[in-house]
Structure 1
Amino acid sequence: MNDAKTMGSLAEKLMSYVSTTPQQDANYDIALAMLTHYGKLKNLSLAEIADLCYVSKASISRFCRFMGFDGFRELHDCLLQDFSIGTDYSRTFYDKLCADPQAALQDYSEEVIRNIRVTTAPENTERLAEMAVALANSGRIAFFSHHFLWDIGRHLQSKMIRMDRYVELYLDYTQQLACARSLQKNDLAIVCTVGGSYPMRYPTIWNGLIAAGCPILVITQNTSSSYWNYARFVLGCGVSNRNDVGKYGALMAVDLLTLQYLRQYGKEYL
């Protein structure tokens, strides 16, 4: 199976760049123009996108390489494989949301609460103390996920850096692969994959983690996957990802790790 270089939508990548770059240069202007007209990009040619961004075709080609693509064709292929809002929400849920929004929101909240309860159940949290020790004693900590769970990793980064532990987090496929291959046996890899598909979608990165020989901590709802035979720890994050509620369980799992680390090692930081 070949790895897909796209770890999320092009929109996610563009928004991350626009939101974090300190330089509002030509690349920033192109990215912002693409986001402003995002819905029509997949139907436009290189020349048409260049006109839309008020730059030359060569500038768009350079921008594509700047964003990590081989060229315009690869960026355009990414657009054609993009994720619609229907990826997150079912038509049934949408119809109910329109017909009876209160009932739809009640169903939604119950799924969220169910995920949090399952995540915080004693049978799921019994190895948290060992996980905190691994966080404390590892040389490096690296967080691996799809772009859609980047915010979960960013939350962990924000919490842990205030307790003097830096968690590496990379959006791009190439950077994640390089990180996986550079890890050592005394490092820790955290793989956050609600549905458990990360090893199947990115086998080269997963195999890189296995070859590195470092402990792997997996956050997932698919806790029985045979892939986790290579993981030292598996932390469940609920049981449902219907209508995108799985992210709340994943966030709760990361909070559990943070709170356990605070309990064991954080007194001096309070």
Structure 2
Amino acid sequence: MNDEKTMGSLAEKLMSYLSTAPRQDANYDIALAMLTHYGKLKNLSLAEIADLCYVSKASLSRFCRFMGFDSFRELHDCLRKDFSIGTDYSRTFFDKLCADPQAALQDYSEELIRNIRATATPENTQRISDMAMTMANSGRIAFFSHHFLWDIGRHLQSKMIRMDRYVELYLDYAQQLACARSLQKDDLAIVCTVGGSYPLRYPTVWNGLVSAGCPILVITQNVSSSYWNFARFVLGCGVSNRNDVGKYGALMAVDMLTLQYLRQYGKEYL
């Protein structure tokens, strides 16, 4: 299975489709049925999943291609390599959550706050003015991440469009790659990768961004990566991703960009 097909879990891909589908057609019904019985799917055959969705095997195969997979087998391989909730939360944290939920939530919130404070540093604040200026002067702005950080990009989209700046955001690998290769030198690419693994996991997209020659703004906790030698800006977003708190630092970084853009260019929109 090529991990580039989903850039995250199949569940994320299906949920994103259901959230944005313009109409409830046969593909919508199949996606809904698959999500309703998601935990069972990896142990079921093509025929069994088709029965679960009340469609023929041919219809299910067409749905797999509709979702960007070459075949049912490729989709099924993705299911077998899916991400469990244990990817986000450690067993130690779970045990503490069960034994003393208040203490566990206190630890969680303190880690979250530490990330936000580590993002809102004077060093970041000093650099962010140039980042906002580049955003204002760019022809296009495109946001790159994997599915688990899609909401961070969507938040940026929502804020910026109200200041008449459209930020491109694509979930699928093929669309991200096409976007990267189409960028020009006066455009801006924003890469959000809390752990800094995006160039390693998706080297073809990263190389496309580098070859495009446009400014690259990286939002990450791994600020010392050698990959960032090709980036114009690196915006740190905290220091910890234990138990999935890194996303709050990334959200804070995006909010800082938005607020700085508002400060410099947004007075007329208030």
The equivalent of 2:59 in structure 1 is: 59
| 3-state SS in 2 of match to 1:129 | helix
TM-fit CA distance, 1:22 = 1.5
What amino acid does structure 1 have at the position aligned with 2:236?
G
Unpaired segments of 5 or more residues in structure 2?
A: none
The equivalent of 2:110 in structure 1 is: 110
The equivalent of 1:120 in structure 2 is: 120
Unpaired segments of 5 or more residues in structure 1?
A: none
| 3-state SS in 1 of match to 2:5 | coil
Displacement over 6 Å in runs of 4+: none
Q: Would the aligned equivalents of 1:132 and 1:261 in 2 still touch at CA under 8 Å?
A: yes
Q: Distance in 2 between matches of 1:264 and 1:3?
A: 40
What amino acid does structure 2 have at the position aligned with 1:80?
R
TM-superposition CA deviations, 1:132-163 (whole Å, max 9, x none) = 01100000000000100000000000000000
Residues 3, 37 of structure 1: CA spacing in aligned structure 2 closer, same or farther, 3 A cutoff?
A: closer
The equivalent of 1:17 in structure 2 is: 17
Q: Which is further off, 153-162 or 64-73?
A: 64-73
Q: Would the aligned equivalents of 1:118 and 1:124 in 2 still touch at CA under 8 Å?
A: no
- TM-score normalised by length of structure 2: 0.99
- TM-score normalised by length of structure 1: 0.99
The equivalent of 1:175 in structure 2 is: 175
Q: Report whether the alignment pairs 1:43 with 2:36.
A: no
Q: Distance in 1 between matches of 2:247 and 2:260?
A: 20
TM-fit CA distance, 1:5 = 2.5
The equivalent of 1:78 in structure 2 is: 78
Q: Would the aligned equivalents of 2:192 and 2:220 in 1 still touch at CA under 8 Å?
A: yes
What amino acid does structure 1 have at the position aligned with 2:66?
F
The equivalent of 1:199 in structure 2 is: 199
Q: Distance in 2 between matches of 1:231 and 1:81?
A: 32
Q: Distance in 2 between matches of 1:133 and 1:83?
A: 38
Q: How is 1:1-270 mapped onto 2 (pairs within 5 angstroms)?
A: 4-270=4-270
Q: Distance in 2 between matches of 1:16 and 1:4?
A: 17
What amino acid does structure 1 have at the position aligned with 2:31?
A
Q: Distance in 1 between matches of 2:224 and 2:5?
A: 27
TM-fit CA distance, 1:3 = 6.6
What amino acid does structure 2 have at the position aligned with 1:204?
T
What amino acid does structure 1 have at the position aligned with 2:201?
R
TM-fit CA distance, 1:251 = 0.2
Residues 86, 98 of structure 1: CA spacing in aligned structure 2 closer, same or farther, 3 A cutoff?
A: same
Q: Distance in 2 between matches of 1:147 and 1:127?
A: 27
What amino acid does structure 2 have at the position aligned with 1:55?
V
| 3-state SS in 2 of match to 1:185 | coil
Alignment coverage as a number of residue pairs: 269
Q: Distance in 1 between matches of 2:180 and 2:253?
A: 22
What amino acid does structure 2 have at the position aligned with 1:13?
K
TM-superposition CA deviations, 1:13-67 (whole Å, max 9, x none) = 0000111112100000000000000000000010000000000000001000100
What amino acid does structure 2 have at the position aligned with 1:164?
D
Q: Would the aligned equivalents of 2:138 and 2:187 in 1 still touch at CA under 8 Å?
A: yes
Q: Distance in 1 between matches of 2:139 and 2:124?
A: 26
Q: Would the aligned equivalents of 2:5 and 2:68 in 1 still touch at CA under 8 Å?
A: no
Q: Distance in 1 between matches of 2:196 and 2:71?
A: 31
What RMSD in Å do the two structures reach over aligned CA positions?
Answer: 0.8
Q: Would the aligned equivalents of 1:139 and 1:188 in 2 still touch at CA under 8 Å?
A: yes
| 3-state SS in 1 of match to 2:41 | helix
